[in-house]
Every structure is written in structure tokens, then in C-alpha cells.
Copies of this chain bind each other. A is one copy, B any other.
Amino acid sequence: MGRPTVTDIAREAGVSLATVDRVLNARPGVRAKTIAAVQEAVARLGYVRDMAAANLARGRSTRVAILLPDTESQFIQTLEDALAQAAALASSARMQVDLLRYPAADLHRLTAMLADLAAGGISGVALMAPETPLVRDALRALHAAGIPVVAMVSALPNCGAAHYVGIDSHAAGRTAGVLMGRFLGGRTPRVMVIAQSMLLRDSIERRRGFDAVMLADFPGVTVGQTLETHGVTQTLHQVMRESLRSDGPVGGIYLLGSGHRALAQVLSELGLLGQVVVIGHELTPHTISALRAGWLDAVIAQNVGHVARSTLRVLQAKADHQPINESQERLRLEIILRENLPQAL
């Protein structure tokens, strides 16, 4: 005998198929006593709904939208690629994924897109976005409309019941701190922290985690304030020179966001390439080659493939009104050295 089916449940509970169907799908018109009897039979036989057959019968192909900023960051591109790949696979499980980009500088446009989606009868939305009041309101509206929302990579608390798929940024910063502290060894106990900007929630949290560990576990190390580059190599060069001049040499550099390529260039110009410990975030073609080259010592990352698949699974589960397997969806914070670089991206 294989798995029990609705027919088995009906026989076991002494009711008809129609009644079992009503109970399983929470349709009205069933006495509480009968509901209990059916549920008892379900429990006794260990019945689990065959979601494949159920969705097949529903003829429903879940349709979801995923929104990413149009930033020209390698990480965003990597994430989009992963999402596209996961979406291709998901299509064989009757799920259609619309990958969209919104102008990072125009959040009004983002909210407009979200409104359109809500009107267009989408069954779920995932996005990576900054947490502004504008965005928050738009997401709350989606939630009110019964459309599940998933926040990727950067958390969006207080935005309805948005599920977060991504790593704990504070822990990521702490991990970067421990590695920095231990890798410094006998080098100059001074660390420079560099970021493109401090507007994004995850950068702020990373910095906080980093500081917490440095303060507690490596009190002998001086950590400078965050140098913002705004993505301009020239600025990076300038602020680094200035910092080196005013505060003296450094033994380590912590790169909060992207900008590895520019950093390599400037470090090379300053004759520091390979001389200082550098710790960064996220696995992209740039960071991979930097790790291989040896001037980048460690990267704290999240597996974008897992982010993508988890996002789709969560959206699917929410659309099916099914519980989410938390332990499966919990993302690991990964430490990548040259030695454990994935063979292929």
C-alpha cells in the first residue's frame, strides 16, 4: 500500500469524498464533529496532501514577481542570474517568475510598480530594497491585499509580514571582525573600514557587528571610521591617502560593500597590494579573482543560489498557504577563503 489518499480518509472517517474535500480545503458547511472525525482519520493514517496532484487539479500556475534595483553591481547581477536559473527550474513546477528591475534612485517608481503588480493579480512579490517609509507603505498595502512579500538580502522589518531571505548582517560583521583580528597577526593593529555608502541597512549592521567584536576580542586594534567612496575610485584613492597620512599605516582593510576592483587598483598604486589583510563581502567574479590572486583574504557571503531557491520556495509555500520549513530556509553565513572557493560559479 502506498500513501493514503482522500479516498482512504473518507473510508476511515466514515464520510464521503465530498466531505473530506470540504474539510481539507476549509470549505463551509461541515459540522465541527465531522471536521474532527476527518482530521482524526488524517492523523491516524498519516495523510499528507499530494501537493503536486493538488496543484495540477487546481490548474494554478503560481505567478510571482521579483524586483531588484538597477544598480550596476556585480552582486546584484549574480543574484539576478541565480534567480533566473532557479526560475527556469521552478517553471517545471508550475510557477512563473517575472524578474524586474527598478531604478534605484527612484523609489516612487518602485512603489508604482508594486501597485501595478497588486492590481495585476500576482500571487507573491520578492524584492531587495532599502527600508524607507515609501517602500514600507507600499509593502503594507500589498500585505493588506493578501499578497505575500519576501525581502531578499536586506531585511525589511515593519513592512507587513515580509519574510526575510538572507543572512544576519550583524553576524556577518562579527565574523568579519573575528577573521580580521586573527588574520592581522603581527601586522600594524590598525584597520580601515571602507564603504560605498552607509545608506543600506545591511552595511550599517555589518559595521556594528564588526565594531562589537573588535572592541570585545581585539582591544589592541584601532578601527577607523567608515570611509565613504560613493563608488568613485578617485574618491577612494583620496580618502585612503588622507587617512594614511593623518593616522599612519594600516594592517587591515574591511570593505563593507562592493568596490573590490577599485580597491585593488588603489592598493596597487599605494604599494599595499598583498601587504594588508583585506576582508570583504559577497562572492562575485571580482571577489573570486581577488581571492585567487591572494590580495583578498576572506569574503563573508551568502549563497545566492540558496537565496534564489529559498525565495521561490517561500513564495510557493505562501501561495499554497502551506507552512514554511524554517530549518530548510535558514541561510548559512559563509566564509570563503581561497582554499574553499567553489570550483565554478
A94 and B50 within 8 A (CB)? yes
The minimal Cβ–Cβ distance linking A341 to chain B, given in whole angstroms, is 9
Q: Give 1 or 0 for each of A164-183: 1 = CB within 8 Å of chain B CB.
A: 00000001101101110011
Is chain A's binding surface mostly helix, strand, loop or mixed?
helix
Which of A32-40, A52-60, A152-160, A224-232 participates in binding chain B? A52-60
B178 and A339 within 8 A (CB)? yes
Q: Give 1 or 0 for each of A332-345: 1 = CB within 8 Å of chain B CB.
A: 11110111101110
Q: How many chain-A residues does the 8 Å CB contact rule pick out?
A: 47
Shortest Cβ distance from A172 into B: residue:
B340
Residues of B within 8 A of A49 (CB): 92
Residues of B within 8 A of A303 (CB): 332
A325 and B56 within 8 A (CB)? no
A interface list, Cβ under 8 A from B: 2-3, 48-53, 55-56, 61, 85, 89, 91-94, 171-172, 174-175, 177-179, 182-183, 185-186, 213, 303, 305, 309, 325, 327-328, 330, 332-335, 337-340, 342-344
Q: A303-B332, A335-B335 are in contact. List 17 more A-B contacts (CB 8 A).
A: A51-B93, A52-B52, A52-B53, A52-B56, A52-B94, A89-B325, A89-B328, A178-B338, A178-B339, A182-B183, A182-B185, A185-B186, A327-B344, A330-B343, A333-B340, A334-B334, A334-B340
Listed A/B pairs (8) with beta-carbon separation below 8 Å: A52-B55, A89-B328, A172-B340, A305-B328, A309-B328, A330-B342, A334-B335, A334-B340
